Structure 1
Amino acid sequence: MATKTDLKKTLDGYQARRGEFRVLEVPPLPYLMVDGHGDPNTAQEYADALAALYPVAYKLKFACKKDGRDYVVPPLEALWWAEDMDAFTRARDKSQWDWTAMIMTPDWVTEQMFEEACATVAAKDRPASLDRVRRETLREGTCVQTLHIGPYDAEGPVLEEMHERFIPERGLRMTGKHHEIYLGDPRRVEPAKLRTILRQPVTTA
């Protein structure tokens, strides 16, 4: 019986505590990605992105399991940004947000395996955004992260503290895009108990 790898337990980037900002080095990691724009709660584009990402992610898992390398599909993640970042941290004007929805894959997944998974998904109930799914290695390097517990819309004060106090006070400056890792499923977990890792790539100021 194949051993099942759980990247949430083996990668340091999935470790975070509420009320604690931590500086860590995140290695280059491979992801399935789909880009988009607009409010994730109302934009069909975001729903379509997830409807394409998950089938590909699970087809890859099943192909790996068949070859004796089973793993737990990692949680949904996303990069978020806006032309005016105040629309993200303070105003929370989601209509102005750009995003990349992502699911990590193990480093042994090949381009051929990805193409075969997409072809299998396309053969039955082809998702509208399947052609937008790509594989890409995310290179974040030095990052600051913390754990937020509660509704997504309550992240603002935590982000302000991270961006305006913790990062500059340690001689760092923000670079790259705001990164969120969703450890809870909003369809099954009440908003007050949602667990989200908030990550910001940084560099020396």
Structure 2
Amino acid sequence: MYEGRDGKVASLFMPGEKKWNTTLVRQNFVQEDADAILETRIPQRDVADQVVWVHSSNGAYTAKRAYHFWYESNIGLHATPSCVGWKRIWHLNIPHKIKVFVWRYCRNVVPVRWRLNSRGIRIPITCPMCETDVEHMIHLFYDYSFATECWNHVGLTYDWSQVECAHGWLLQKLTDAKAEELLKICMVLWGIWYWKNKKVWDGKVVTAAFAMDSSFQILAQ
């Protein structure tokens, strides 16, 4: 185990700089760990070191977050509950590409960063929208300011603290929600995903209101 000059992360920095000392890191860690360390972004502002749980937005461990982490790790792709909502997807009055997205969402195969990383694709797992929390399903679509503003903008309010399974929640809505509510839900989910990718690949940042208004305009085309 690397103990460094003082046992702190900063002991792996270049002297006087907030940059990884690549040579030192690779001398003291196996390749897989060294690669992960060197891919970690170093905050450029001074913050005190603290112990955090990476799967929580505020760094605190909770039973709910632990369950979600376990669920994604041990069930994940194999969890596709049986319900009458599956057939309803293909009868929604939305573009086919959004129906496919909804189907993938319900199958729990939307390629969020946490899922890709857990399957060996070495990419940062931090959400590019908030740049703080891990990008998993519940976080990306419900659990930070941009997502919350998107839901509020279209007049939908839910108690997300009770949602432990993102795709299970949508499958339940496919079963019992009215047509107008269900259409809004699907468009919000797709809009968040679309504009997240626009930020990642095109560097385009928009407000939640613009994201939702432009996404819903597709229905009028």
TM-score, length-scaled by structure 2: 0.23
TM-score, length-scaled by structure 1: 0.25
- Give the helix-richer structure, 1 or 2: 2
Work out which structure has the larger RCO, using CA pairs closer than 8 Å and 6 or more positions apart in sequence. 1
- Give the strand-richer structure, 1 or 2: 1
Q: Which has the larger radius of gyration?
A: 2
